[in-house]
């Protein structure tokens, strides 16, 4: 993952700088979101959008979104994990994540996901965040997330989660 990051940077979307018109990750709704809705969702505080570009270039090759969410205690207890004393559990949702088709299978999806997890972990230092949730588009995407340790939430199709303590371990392992 470290090699893959050498010439890449991940930064907050700036609609006046980043070029999104040609972005194509193979999923029409993810492409459309980046081109049409990402800017306005960012402005309204509905999501934060981060884009992957080559260093010092504006062309977007990948992106993800982060939003605060609360997951029902029932959703989590289905998994047989901690019996937490609240009905709603604070979490961060990676709602969308995509890599442009010509850059897929080169490790960049992993780079983007790890960057998202690091930002979630940093946020958890100042706001309580129990877990990170992802919405996978399909079975293939779900397998991608499971490759990194995410577990399916059986109550919501294609929604997976990873508890913050596991994310902290992943980050520490990467630093060693």
Ligand X SMILES: CC(C)(COP(=O)(O)OP(=O)(O)OC[C@H]1O[C@@H](n2cnc3c(N)ncnc32)[C@H](O)[C@@H]1OP(=O)(O)O)[C@@H](O)C(=O)NCCC(=O)NCCS
CA distance 126 to 138: 33
Of 67, 66, 52, which is closest to residue 18 (Cα–Cα)?
52
Residue among 50 and 144 whose Cβ is closer to ligand X: 144
Q: Which is nearer to ligand X, 100 or 124 (CB)?
A: 100
Which residue from 10, 13, 25, 117 is in contact with ligand X, where contact means CB under 6 A?
25
53 binds ligand X (CB under 6 A): no
The answer to whether 30 contacts ligand X (rule: CB under 6 A) is yes
Q: How far is the CB of 164 from ligand X (least distance, A)?
A: 20
Does 12 help bind ligand X (rule: CB under 6 A)? no
Judged by CB under 6 A, the chain residues 96 through 155 that form the site for ligand X are 96-99, 104-110, 136-137, 140-141, 143-144, 147
Instruction: From residue 3, give the alpha-carbon distance in Å to each of 25, 107, 109.
Output: 22, 9, 13
User: Which tokens is 66 given?
Assistant: 């982060």
Residue 13's alpha-carbon distances to 32, 48, 60, 67, in angstroms, are 15, 8, 9, 14
Residue 34: CB minimum distance to ligand X, A: 11
CB of 111 to ligand X, least distance (A): 7
Report if residue 38 touches ligand X, rule: CB under 6 A: no
Output the CA torsion 6→164→121→162 (10° steps).
50
CB of 171 to ligand X, least distance (A): 16
* Residue closest to ligand X when measured from CB atoms: 109
CB of 149 to ligand X, least distance (A): 11
Give the residues lining the site for ligand X (CB under 6 A). 25-27, 30, 96-99, 104-110, 136-137, 140-141, 143-144, 147
């Amino acid at each position: 993952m470290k090699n893959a990051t050498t010439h890449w940077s991940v930064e907050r979307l700036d609609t006046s700088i980043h070029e999104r018109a040609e972005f194509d990750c193979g999923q029409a709704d993810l492409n459309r979101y980046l081109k049409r809705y990402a800017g306005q969702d960012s402005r309204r505080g509905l999501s934060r959008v981060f884009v992957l570009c080559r260093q010092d270039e504006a062309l977007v090759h990948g992106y993800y979104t982060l939003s605060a969410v609360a997951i029902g205690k029932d959703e989590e207890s289905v998994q047989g994990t901690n019996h937490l004393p609240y009905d709603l559990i604070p979490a961060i949702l990676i709602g969308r994540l995509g890599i442009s088709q010509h850059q897929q299978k080169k490790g960049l999806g992993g780079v983007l996901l790890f960057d998202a997890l690091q930002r979630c972990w940093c946020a958890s230092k100042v706001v309580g965040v129990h877990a990170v949730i992802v919405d996978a588009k399909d079975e293939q995407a779900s397998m991608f997330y499971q490759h990194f340790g995410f577990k399916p939430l059986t109550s919501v199709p294609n929604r997976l989660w990873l508890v913050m303590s596991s994310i902290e371990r992943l980050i520490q392992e990467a630093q060693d």
